[in-house]
Amino acid sequence: MSRYAVRTAVLPSTSQRLKFVVEGETLQVVPEVRSFVLSLSAAGKSVNTISTYVPKIAAFLNWADETPLTDWRTVTVPQLTRFKWSLEAPQPTTEGSYEAPAGRSDATVGLYLTAVVEFLRYCARSDYIDPTTVNRLVEPRYLGHVPASFDPGENGQFRFKLVKQLRTKPVQHRPKTLAPAAVKAVTDATLNPRDRFLIELLNATGIRIGEALGLRREDMHFLPTSINLGCEIAGPHIHIVRRKDNENYAFGKARKSRHVPVEPSLVRTYSRYQAERTRLVNADSDYVFVNLYKGRIGAPYTYSAAMAAIRGLRSRALVPNLHPHLFRHTRATAWIEEGVERDVVQDLLGHAVAASTAVYTHPSPKTLRDAVDRGRIGGAE
């Protein structure tokens, strides 16, 4: 049975329902926490903010109470680091549950540490504890000039910086990708040759949806050689050209122009779309993607119209999280896994900085599996 528990009480002066920490069987309100809560309330913090702080402080008090040689009033960096680890450790699940127990996310752990350190800072200011306790936990944050409107942030996160050991790292998740079966389902679920070409183009080249919608017919160098067009790049490819006059606001984000090679199968899909386009409209629009079925026929296919089509694909292909950017993540990840050099992938994606490409180099579960499997085969010989 934990020593500290959270209870709600109505504050007579403001009628706010605030959380407090009570202690032992007598349910005595812990005076330091009470004082801290009232100071937050007086400082205009919302009941919600206070409600998120208090249980985290209670968890800290219980942890210190149950950890030998630990007193919350004199907590040290190594001790608070162990508290942090206890938060990150897998949590027991309710009985009968077969869910894999998971630790708290870095963001949640960060909220715990913020609440605890805010509480300890308050205790130091109010002479409940020795200020050196807190000074060990935080680094001073020097602001040469503090503007009058300086906002310390909802959680006061700009007023102090935890020492390095206590900081939670902002995790870089591997971008989500589409499984090959999902790509096929989406492609098969397209309703017309134009949308099929759009999906296959996004999937094959990893270009941004805005770049695709901004493509002009002159950017499609789909012949085996484009010498006649004044381009010396061999094989079929598309050019992503930085333009400022895109009528449909499909403004390429890339700062410089680039080209992306494509497979012959994409060229065939483009031919089928071109045949459909010629059959339906006599549009001399320079844009590759134009309205053929809805809206002003022959006008550039807009982002919102393309997104409406993609929303339709979500339900028909049973890929509820489908988003054009998923194709980009999928293509980039595939290139990295196929061994394409990182700076080449950066060029293909049109990333201005290498850091944007680096997220794709986190090994995927499949890469790790393959590495283990290779090791096993090697070991058996």
Where along the sequence are the contacts to Zn ion (CB under 5 A)? 221, 226, 231, 233
Q: Which residues contact 232 (CB under 8 A, 6 or more apart)?
A: 226
DSSP-assigned beta bridge partners for residue 19: 8
- CA-to-CA distance for 20 and 9, rounded, in angstroms? 7
Q: How far is the CB of 259 from Zn ion (least distance, A)?
A: 6
Of 38 and 231, CB closest to Zn ion: 231
Count the neighbouring beta carbons within 10 Å of the beta carbon of residue 94. Answer: 6
For residues 329 and 177, the answer to whether their CB atoms sit within 8 Å is: yes
Q: How far is the CB of 237 from Zn ion (least distance, A)?
A: 6
Question: What phi and psi, each to the nearest 5 degrees, are found at residue 350?
Answer: 75, 30
Structure tokens at 197: 């070409």
Residue 224 one-letter amino acid: P
Cα separation values, 27 from 7, 19, 20, 51, 335, Å: 9, 13, 10, 18, 61
Number of helices (H), then strands (E), belonging to the chain: the values are: 14, 8
Q: How far is the CB of 116 from Zn ion (least distance, A)?
A: 59
Q: How far is the CB of 240 from Zn ion (least distance, A)?
A: 11
Residue 250 one-letter amino acid: A
Of 109 and 215, CB closest to Zn ion: 215
- CA-to-CA distance for 290 and 216, rounded, in angstroms? 10
3-state secondary structure of 215: coil
Of 191 and 234, CB closest to Zn ion: 234
Of 229 and 371, CB closest to Zn ion: 229
Q: How far is the CB of 218 from Zn ion (least distance, A)?
A: 9
Q: Which residues contact 153 (CB under 8 A, 6 or more apart)?
A: 159
Exposed/middle/buried for residue 120 (C-beta within 10 Å: 0-12, 13-18, 19+)? buried
Of 195 and 219, CB closest to Zn ion: 219
Q: How far is the CB of 306 from Zn ion (least distance, A)?
A: 24
Of 222 and 251, CB closest to Zn ion: 222
* Chain position whose Cβ is nearest to Zn ion: 231
Of 233 and 359, CB closest to Zn ion: 233
Q: Give the largest Cα separation in the chain, rounded.
A: 90
Q: Which residues contact 284 (CB under 8 A, 6 or more apart)?
A: none
Q: How far is the CB of 372 from Zn ion (least distance, A)?
A: 42
Of 121 and 237, CB closest to Zn ion: 237
Q: How far is the CB of 186 from Zn ion (least distance, A)?
A: 28
